[in-house]
Amino acid sequence: MATWGMVIDLEKCTGCQACTLACGMENNRLPGENWQDVIFFTEGSYPSAQLKWFPRPCQHCENPSCMAVCPTGATFKTADGVVLVDWDKCIGCKYCMVACPYGVRFYTEEKPLVSPDMRKVHASKDEHSWNPPWKMPDAREDWKHGVGIQPHDVVSKCTFCYHRVSMAPPGTPDLDPQDPKLREFTPACVVTCPPGARLFGDLSNPESRVSRMIGDKRGVRLLDQLGNKPQVYYLTGDGGAVPSNRAIDKKA
């Protein structure tokens, strides 16, 4: 069984946010509810201020704190290493959101981030929280794995495009979007990344490209000191560092 993981090369990432958009289209996200966000922030001050950005999907941790705190077992980790939410078990207590060090979880019922509220423009007549005009086929929707348009009052998060990845041929070391045979099994953000800054593969296979890149280019993990052990690795090189804190202005 594979242990799926992602490598993001910050030397290549241009901060174009195509990943954010592709994820939103693939997974029918509300505007602003970015499972795959790119965080922009500044460091330093005039005249040496720098604009920086940092792509941040769910880290699909080896030791997910969100899973440990969930009182019902709605958040779980699959055998192939993906952290998912069972929407039929989620009670909407939001403890997982509070306990996630990476801020990758979203509650459905909140003030809309953009106006008009798309949930009202495309209101749902059934249990779905909204009904966008374009959405993934019903056959792909899978509430047990947090895939599709979620019901009301549950927590949602990046699934590593589980509806794609789980269909990959067993034993595949890397899901390379350049390979036409594997493209449809590769997460949408990886497929769409214009500079090819994202790699997706089996972390448990030492021969996979993701494993070799992590070894060769000294991949690092976000907030590693917390012990969650993310399965998303960042390659820094000349592309800037992984933030060691939460990019906050202490005087603000």
Say whether residue 229 binds another protein (CB under 8 A): no
Pick the binder of another protein from 83, 147, 189, 222 (CB under 8 A). Answer: 222
For 127-156, give the secondary structure using H, E and C: CECCCCCCCCCHHHCEHHHCECCCECCCEE
Pick the binder of another protein from 110, 184, 207, 224 (CB under 8 A). Answer: 110
Write out the two tokens for 206.
Answer: 């030492």
Number of chain residues interacting with another protein (CB under 8 A)? 57
In the complex, least distance from residue 133 CB atom to another protein, rounded to whole angstroms? 21
Q: Taking CB under 8 A as the criterion, which residues in 142-171 touch another protein?
A: 152-154
In the complex, least distance from residue 44 CB atom to another protein, rounded to whole angstroms? 13
Between CA 178 and CA 159 the distance in angstroms is 21
52 close to 40: Cβ distance less than 8 angstroms: yes
Binding mask 49-68 for another protein (x = CB under 8 A): -----x-x--------x--x
Say whether residue 41 binds another protein (CB under 8 A): yes
Q: Which CB, 99 or 136, lies closer to another protein?
A: 99
Pick the binder of another protein from 69, 122, 205, 239 (CB under 8 A). Answer: 69
Pick the binder of another protein from 12, 92, 136, 205 (CB under 8 A). Answer: 92
User: What pairing do the DSSP bridges indicate for beta strands 105-107 and 37-43?
Assistant: unpaired
Binding mask 16-35 for another protein (x = CB under 8 A): -----------------xx-
| Nearest-10 Cα torsion for 53, 58, 61, 65 | 110
CB atoms within 10 A of CB 114: 9
- End-to-end Cα distance, the chain: 47
Between CA 75 and CA 89 the distance in angstroms is 9
